[in-house]
Amino acid sequence: MSGGQSSKGRVGTRKNKEPETRKDGDMSDVCASEDGDGMEDSQATLNSFRKMVSEVVAEGMRDLKSEMKKELSQVRLSFREDMKVQLDELRSEINQQIKAATGQVEEVAKRLGEVERSVAGREPWETGVKDALIQLLNNQKSLQAKVADLEGRSRRNNIRIYGIPEKAEGTSMLRYVENMIQSELGDTTGLRQGQSLGIERAHRALASQPPDGAPPCSTVVRFLQFTVKEKILQAAWKKSIYVQESHVFFDHDYAEAVQQRRKEYTPIKRVLKENGIRFQTPLTRMRVHFDSCTVTFNSSEEAAADLRKRGLSVGPIPRSRSDRDAPGTRRTTRRAYERDSKVSRGRTGRMP
């Protein structure tokens, strides 16, 4: 019995428990449904929040873009206005400078036109003046040559003696020279016994007394007869004469211009003597007797150039005073005027 009861009791218990179990299941389902609804609401809320944020951000971006566009447009407008103002100022400044430069160019063109008209009027006159000046220079050169020739002819009866010591003549140079010629040359002159030398005058060259140690001034001796002068000069060239251990030599009394030209041959003479080459210096030329031929040079430059080609060392040629001063200047000026005159004629031919 007890077993039956117990089984019944268990069955009853089970029956009683089954409704409870069902109740619990129903509660869990209700909670689950409630939880699902809550999650859906949260998701919807999150989505709506996201949507709202997106809308806010989009609206903010639109506002930002709008503001930036406005600011950029304002900056662009301000920049354009500034650039326009600056360009206007620059254009105004450039126009002013161009206007000033145009005025200067017009002024220069005006002055140039005046100069051209003035030159056009003066060119014929200048051409005539240049031609006349060239003619005058040619005449002057010709006259100078004639004066030099006359000066040389006036000195034909003169002898110039180099090397007589200063103050050796005492009180009379004429008596001193006469005694020296008679004692040193004697019968070698070819003059008749007792024939007078016919010295008209004798004196030192007109120059200041040289300092101690410098070569003495030369002595000029004038004879009454040309033949006597030539005989004495030829005899003196054949003999070495010494006065107080000073070598004395005789030469023609050349004109000053000729003397200057002859001095230019001094370094050439030195070279020729060192090499044992015979030479002569007739007036302003030089005649050199080489082993193969005899050559005559008209100037020291020509002689120096030829000697250098032959392998001889020739020093610098001293320029004569006549070449440095007026004559050389006149020759150069005459050539310049001739050249300028040709150019002026060409310009005159091209003038309208």
> How high is the pLDDT of residue 84?
87
Alpha-carbon span 8 to 4, nearest angstrom? 6
Tell me which residue has tokens 């056009």.
Answer: 120
**Average pLDDT over the chain, rounded to an integer:** 80
For the chain, how big is the Rg over CA atoms in Å? 64
Measured between alpha carbons, how far is residue 229 from residues 85, 115, 203 in Å? 104, 66, 16
> How high is the pLDDT of residue 113?
87
> How high is the pLDDT of residue 289?
94
Decide if pLDDT at 194 tops 50: yes
Which letter, b or e, does each residue of 10-23 get, where b requires 16 or more Cβ atoms within 10 Å of its Cβ?
eeeeeeeeeeeeee
Alpha-carbon span 140 to 135, nearest angstrom? 9
pLDDT digits (tens, 9 = 90+) for 322-352: 554 444 444 444 455 455 545 444 443 333 3
pLDDT digits (tens, 9 = 90+) for 163-191: 999 989 889 999 999 999 988 888 787 77
> How high is the pLDDT of residue 329?
40
In the chain, domain spans: 156-253
pTM strictly above 0.75: no
> How high is the pLDDT of residue 273?
92
Alpha-carbon span 149 to 164, nearest angstrom? 28
Q: How confident is the model at residue 32 (pLDDT cuts 50, 70, 90)?
A: low
Contacts of 229 by beta carbon, 8 Å cutoff, 6+ apart: 156, 157, 158, 159, 223
Look at residues 207, 195, 194 and name the one whose alpha carbon lies nearest to residue 160: 207
> How high is the pLDDT of residue 257?
86
Look at residues 175, 189, 148, 180 and name the one whose alpha carbon lies nearest to residue 161: 180
Sign for the CA dihedral angle at 71, 76, 81, 87 comes to positive
Decide if pLDDT at 204 tops 90: yes
> How high is the pLDDT of residue 62?
85
Helices (H) and strands (E) in the chain, counts: 8, 8
Read off the pLDDT of each residue in 254-279 and give the average, rounded to a whole number.
90
Residue type, 16: N
Q: How confident is the model at residue 143 (pLDDT cuts 50, 70, 90)?
A: very high
Residues paired with 243 in a beta bridge: 246
pLDDT digits (tens, 9 = 90+) for 230-260: 999 999 999 999 998 899 999 999 988 888 8
> How high is the pLDDT of residue 75?
87
More reliable by pLDDT, 82 or 219: 219
Whether domain 156-253 has CATH 3.30.70.1820: yes
Look at residues 217, 221, 216, 226 and name the one whose alpha carbon lies nearest to residue 203: 221
- Pair of tokens at residue 318: 């001293």
> How high is the pLDDT of residue 115?
85
Alpha-carbon span 87 to 92, nearest angstrom? 8
Least confident among 114-123, 241-250, 287-296: 114-123
Q: Return the ∠ at Cα 161 (arms to 155 and 162), rounded to 5°.
A: 130
Decide if pLDDT at 274 tops 80: yes
> How high is the pLDDT of residue 52?
85
Measured between alpha carbons, how far is residue 115 from residues 101, 118, 123, 127, 128 in Å? 21, 5, 12, 17, 20
> How high is the pLDDT of residue 277?
92
pLDDT digits (tens, 9 = 90+) for 37-79: 667 777 888 888 888 888 888 888 888 888 888 888 888 888 8
